[in-house]
Every structure is written in structure tokens, then in C-alpha cells.
Structure 1
Amino acid sequence: MSFKSIIQDMKGELGSISRKGFDVKFGHGARSRSHRVVQDSSVPIDAFMQSCWANMPTELLRDVLMRIEASEVTWPPRKSVSACAGVCRNWREIMKEIVKTPEISGNLTFPISLKQPGPRNSLLQCYIKRNCSNQTYYLYLGLNQSTNDDGKFLLMARKCRRPTCTDYIISLNGDDVSKGSSTYIGKLRSNFLGTKFTIYDSQPPNSGAKVTKSCSTRLTNVKQVSPRVPAGNYPVAHISYELNVLGSRGPRRMQCIMDAIPASSIEPGGVAPTQTEFLHSYLDTFPSLPFFRSKSTRAESFQSGPFSTQRDRMLVLRNKAPRWHEQLQCWCLNFNGRVTVASVKNFQLVASAENLAAGQEQHENVILQFGKVGKDVFTMDYQYPISAFQAFAICLSSFDTKIACE
């Protein structure tokens, strides 16, 4: 029996459970009367727990789910993993144990994966599609739009111009990017000149993060936010573009200070903070999707706040300096075939020399690369210790007009 037929049978059984009551006939003397006994509305019934799928032996269920998770490593076949996690509580709890974080598995399965660091030893390949007519940007998981696989939708951002700054509102929902939405997860804000940016997370990236008061804090719908967690913006990174004395004739120079990531995370055995669940009510848009909760305590051991020690100072990323190609008469970087169109927006980010251990090459490990492959299509590849959300926000800063830089 195929997985699709199993899900269909399961839905049919749940539907019959919800439709039927409990019909019991009682005999009394010579007369027989039929009485319908209905469920007491004050006592809730979990239809999933009455299903035969929820009562499968744990050992058998775990073996089935492990085989499904191991066999489906790419998207869209990986949709089955998410579907399994949405069947019932038993399936969801086991799936949360089986599915690993992107750092370990290299896969983006559940929405919380977008807030977790990418894989350590390889770049996770994504692409961004820009819609200039309504100033929106869509992030997809996949090689690029020219492949047969349309990719998996990950995030959407909308540009909002203000008198003194520009905001890029980032959402999990491709149709709703308002800051009052339950799917709002953060934003990117620029200064008036477009040379300095701040990335804000809608929830604290670690235990001691401090909220920054802003207009978006007041606009957040308080009914959609858990009372345990204050609604607001938590700064997680600062991006700055240096003044280019050569104007448009020279490449951009940028620097990213990752406030929430220690410099020690890029060293062997280093640890970056890992969010384990959405603390806000993001479940409204994804009612059937679970959110991964890691049992690892490595992220919990990291305390936020100022990095007082030399080892735990903030991670600083700088763009890799391109070289001038005499024959082509242009600045060049090796994107390993992932970028095909020359653009001032193209860049590669590496750890700054001040973050690297003695003897380690500065340009050895590209943490984020972004480049143009079509009129409105750009590739975005990232890896540990930054997340898809952070990488997407950094790339959005490259789209913004920079009056003082070019």
C-alpha cells in the first residue's frame, strides 16, 4: 500500500469517527425504544487518538517513520515527512525525535528549520525571485527556476518605504507579509542612505536577548502572540556598506556583525545558538506541521549578552575581495558556476580575519554567497553558522539602493 493511500484511508476513518455518534438500543418490557446517546460537549474527544493509526505499536511505527525519513532526502518527496508528522500526536512526537536539524541533516523540513544554522560542511542551495512590480522577494529551496523542480517555498519579503528608512518585512506566508500577521518572523531595516542595515528577529534568538522598541512592536496583534513572550524586534545582526571612492567602477565592500552568533562558532567544535521552536502563534498558518524541538542542550548552554571574553566575541563577516581580470576587464569571483550574470550585487561572505584562528586562511570557507542568474532570479547559498532567515535578510540588503556607495 502506498503512502498516499494510507493517508487517504486514515482521513476517511477520522471522518467517519467525527460524523457518527454512539447509537445504543434499550429494550423495556414489550416495547422497544431507540435512543441516540451523543457525546457530552464538555468532554473533548481527540479523534486522532481513536484512530487505528495512533494505536500502532511504537516499535513498528518508529521503524516505518525512520525508513520514510531516510528515503526522502530531497524536496518535493520530503513532503511525506511533514505529512507523517501531522497525522496524530504519536506520529508527531516520534518525527520530532527522528528529524535532525539542518546542521546535521542538511535538510529544511519544518518551518523552524529556517531559524536554525545551516549544514556545517556544505552550502545549502536556494534561489530568490524578485517581483519589481510590487517590491516582493521570494526565497525557494532548490538550484534555480530553470530546473524541472520548482523548489520549496521558504520565505517572502516585501519592501516598505518610509520617510527616513526602508523596511523589508519577512514572512513565512507568501500571501501575507503584514507585521500583525502570525507568520511574521522578522524584518530588515535600512538607514536613509541605504548603507547601514539591522536585522530584527520577531522572537528572542537566545535566553537573554533584549527587545528593541519600534513601531512594528506596537503593530503586532497581541491576540496572536503568546503572553509568555513579549512581541517585538530583537536585533540579531548589523550590516554596513563602506563608501566606495571609485563609485560604480569598483565593487561594493560590506561587513556583517552577527550579534547573536559568537566568533567561536566557526572554530572546530564551535556552537551557534539554535532556536528549537516558535514561541509565537505561528501555528495558525501551518496547523498540520509540527515544529522541531531538539533534545540537545548545546544551544541552551550559550548565554546571550555582550561577548566579554576574547573567545566569545561577535562573529564578523566580510565580503571576499574580488580580483581584477585583465582580459575580461571586470572584477571576478569564483562562484563555482552558481552565478552567471555580472552584477554589483554579487558577493561572497567569509569570516573576518580577526575571527579566525592563527594560521587559518581568511578566504577558505564561504559562509554565504549571492549572485545573479537571470533578470529577476538570484542564487543564495549559505551554511553554518547562519540560518536561512539571516542569510535571506543579508541578501535583501544587497537589493536596496545605496546612494552613498554607487
Structure 2
Amino acid sequence: MSFKSIIQDMKGELGSISRKGFGLRSRSQRGMGDCNGSAVIAVDGLKQSSWANMPPELLRDVLMRIEASECAWPDRKNVVSCGGVCRNWRDIIKELVKNPEFSGKLTFPISLKQPGARGSLIQCFIKRNRSAQTYHLYLSLNQASNDDGKFLLAAKKYRRATCTDYIISLNAEDVSKGSSTYIGKLRSNFLGTKFTVYDAQPSEGGALATKYRTFKPGSMKRVSPRVPAGNYPVSNISYELNVLGSRGPRRMQCVMNAIPESAMGPGGTAPTQTEFLLNHVDSFSSLPFFRSKSARIDNSQPGSSLAAQKESMLILKNKAPRWHEQLQCWCLNFNGRVTVASVKNFQLVASLENGEHDNVIIQFGKVGKHTFTMDYQYPLSAFQAFAICLSSFDTKIACE
């Protein structure tokens, strides 16, 4: 029996069981789902089906073959579907699907918070909607210019009196801090020259939460008491002021608070999140962070990042461009991924104690009026890379 026929039989049995009235439960409540943040249906009735009673050795062999053969979207949705059959299937799929760092594949939503592939760039692109002030991140499915892509993340820009906020969500239809799919935000200073990336949950290494103001009555949207909105700073981005008005590209620096510099060395590792805390709302009351009015974690508690703070944090800086005499402009080699000259284009490399790292960690550039490419790799995650690119969309008169 071919893998395609197995998937078709599974879908047929899923449909027949759902018509019989078995209870359905959203997989998002169990910490699983595909990369677009939508719920994947799991049917408890399948526990009584022949698929749930397959011998473990045969089941593992079938799932291993499916996971290995479906290496790219949209076919990779079959891997997600297999994880929604029953508990046995889900446990094996979670074991077989490797982190993007080792597989280079984005499968479940948590993959967007995990470091990218080592040694190769994961190619994505961003579509901007100026009228709605929204930005959508897609995974490139092919090299064609009309690539629809696989939706990954969405961001919405909110202007405030003293700053600008970019709210980042897994759901393109509900981009707000009160949403259950809210995963972080980007906040700028008044001039738009300094930005802070906040994660809705602490990194694996344990980050300190900063104070945040709750929504007051009459505000745009009230935060649900069951959905915490933590502010864990994971990165600080600064653009160098151009006081003399000299010509040239923007100069920026990113301090990755959650990633140690040692992650770039041989055998180094970057913090890797394994699940969303938002999927375990019943356990929020047991966490001191969500009981505290100031939303600040005590440094004396287990899991604090005192040891991590002593270690040098990873710093990303612009890759130095070269001046092209014939074109009379500054140039960077984007390997064909950028086609339109723009002050927003950049490449970042790691700045280490012994000099700059040669490999480009993240690159961002314009390919159309409202389309931009975003390529990233280890140790950045898709969420961190997306937030860094969002900072480039702001107009910075003092830096240009």
C-alpha cells in the first residue's frame, strides 16, 4: 500500500467517524497544529479504529517513511495530519519531527520559536499592507516570483504617543495582544532608532520579565485573564544616528539577550523552546509570574537567568557593503534574493570577540513594491528574524 493511499484511507475514516457524532477537540489545546496556527482536528473516536491498534513496530515504520518523504509544504501537512490521529500517533510524530536546527523544516507552530537550520538559510518573504498596517510572513515554497508561500506569522503596527508597537501573532485574522495566538511584540522609542523585541514567554535559558501596563477600561481591546501577556526582552535593536548626513546604508546592531555568544562556537547551543505556555492555561495560576502584579520574576527563583546574564550575549552587526564604482552605489551580495535597491536592505553577521563571523545570519531585502525577502539561519528563530526585519520598516530620518 502506498503512502498516498494510506493518507486517503485515514482521511476517509476520519470523515466517517466525525459523521457518526464522535466528539471533536482542537489540537491547538494539546500543543500541536500546523505552521499557520490553525487548529488541527483530533478525533477521540479513532482510539477504537484499526489505525490506533496498529502494531508499534509497523506504526513507527509507516510514520518514519511519511515524515521522510513529505519534506516540504504543502505535502508536509500529511505529517501534521498523522499527529492528529490519536495519542500513539502523536507521540511518535513528535519524536520523529526534528527541530529546524537539525532538519531545516518548519512543521508545527513551535518551530517558529526555535533556532533555524545550521549552515543554510531558511528562505521566507514578507508581504506588506500599508493601508491596514499589517505584515505577513510566508515560507517560500519555490523560487518563483508568484510563490504564494506557506503562512507563518502576522504583525500589525500600532502607533502610540511615545512609541510604536508591532504586535506579532500566529493568526492573520486576530493580531492583538489579547489574542490566544499572540506570541510577542516589537516596541520602538520615540525617534524610531531603538527597538526592543519582547517574547510572550521566557526562553529556555530563562529571561527576566519587565513591567507592563495592563489594558485600562475603554482601551482598544481587553486582555483575557486566561491569556497572559508577558514581556520578556529577547533582543535590543539600535540604528546608528547619521548626524553628519553622510551617504550610505543604515548601520544597525542587534543584541540578542536570549542567545549567548558561545552558541556560535563549536558545540554551542542556542536556547530552544519546546512548547507554548499558552497551550496550558490551566497551569497559569501555579506560575509566580502570572500572579504578580508587576509581572517580574524574582532572581532568586529557580530558572532565573543570572548565569546566562554573566555570559556574553550574541551581537549581530551589519555586514560591511562595498562601493560599486560603475553603479555608484553601495552593494551587498544577496545571491539573487534581492532585486530592488532600498535603504531597508541589510545583512547581519555575528560580531564575536575574535572578529566578525563570515556567515550571514539574516538578510532582508526588497523585491517588489510591498514584497520583501527574509532569509535566516541558526541561531535565530523565525520569530526573532521577523521582529528584526519589522524594525527596518519604520522611517528613520535621523539615520538616513
Do they fold alike, i.e. is TM over 0.5?
yes
Partners of 1:362 and 1:372 lie apart in 2 by: 25
Deviation of the 1:144 alpha carbon: 7.2
- Structure-1-length-normalised TM-score: 0.82
The change in CA–CA distance for 1:382 and 1:165 in structure 2 (over 3 A counts) is: same
Which runs of no fewer than 5 residues in structure 2 stay unpaired? Answer: 24-42, 217-221, 282-301
Per-residue Cα deviation, 1:170-213 (whole angstroms, up to 9, x for no partner): 00001000110000000000001000000000011135322112
Deviation of the 1:215 alpha carbon: 2.9
Per-residue Cα deviation, 1:4-52 (whole angstroms, up to 9, x for no partner): 42233221342365369xxxxxxxxxxxxxxxxxxxxxxxx94231122
Partners of 2:356 and 2:199 lie apart in 1 by: 28
Q: Could you say what secondary structure the match of 1:399 adopts? A: coil
Partners of 1:308 and 1:221 lie apart in 2 by: 32
Partners of 1:190 and 1:343 lie apart in 2 by: 21
Contact (CA 8 Å) 1:167, 1:189: kept in 2 or not?
yes
Q: Could you say what secondary structure the match of 1:362 adopts? A: strand
Query: 1:6 is matched with which residue: 5, 9, 21?
Result: 9
Contact (CA 8 Å) 1:182, 1:282: kept in 2 or not?
no
Superposed counterparts of 1:339-354, under 5 Å? 339-354=338-353
1:84 alignment counterpart: 82
Query: 1:391 is matched with which residue: 385, 391, 394?
Result: 385
Deviation of the 1:89 alpha carbon: 1.2
1:34 alignment counterpart: none
1:290 alignment counterpart: none
Partners of 1:48 and 1:187 lie apart in 2 by: 39
**Would you say 1:233 and 2:231 are equivalent positions?**
yes
Partners of 1:18 and 1:69 lie apart in 2 by: 30
Partners of 2:362 and 2:21 lie apart in 1 by: 49
Superposed counterparts of 1:164-203, under 5 Å? 164-203=162-201
Q: Could you say what secondary structure the match of 1:352 adopts? A: strand
Which runs of no fewer than 5 residues in structure 1 stay unpaired? Answer: 21-44, 226-230, 284-300
> Which 4+ runs in 1 deviate beyond 6 A?
none
Count of aligned positions: 353
Q: Could you say what secondary structure the match of 1:14 adopts? A: helix
The change in CA–CA distance for 1:303 and 1:3 in structure 2 (over 3 A counts) is: farther
- Structure-2-length-normalised TM-score: 0.83
Partners of 1:136 and 1:223 lie apart in 2 by: 26
Partners of 2:157 and 2:330 lie apart in 1 by: 29
Partners of 2:375 and 2:242 lie apart in 1 by: 26
1:380 alignment counterpart: 374
Moved more, 234-243 or 318-327: 318-327
Computed over aligned residues only, the root mean square deviation of the Cα atoms, in angstroms, reads 2.4
Partners of 1:405 and 1:259 lie apart in 2 by: 24
The change in CA–CA distance for 1:185 and 1:248 in structure 2 (over 3 A counts) is: farther
Larger Rg: 1
The change in CA–CA distance for 1:240 and 1:329 in structure 2 (over 3 A counts) is: same
Superposed counterparts of 1:2-401, under 5 Å? 2-15=5-18, 18=21, 46-142=44-140, 146-147=144-145, 149-206=147-204, 208-215=206-213, 219-225=222-228, 231-247=229-245, 249-281=247-279, 304-305=305-306, 307=308, 309=310, 312-354=311-353, 358=354, 362-401=356-395
Contact (CA 8 Å) 1:216, 1:232: kept in 2 or not?
no
Contact (CA 8 Å) 2:316, 2:348: kept in 1 or not?
yes
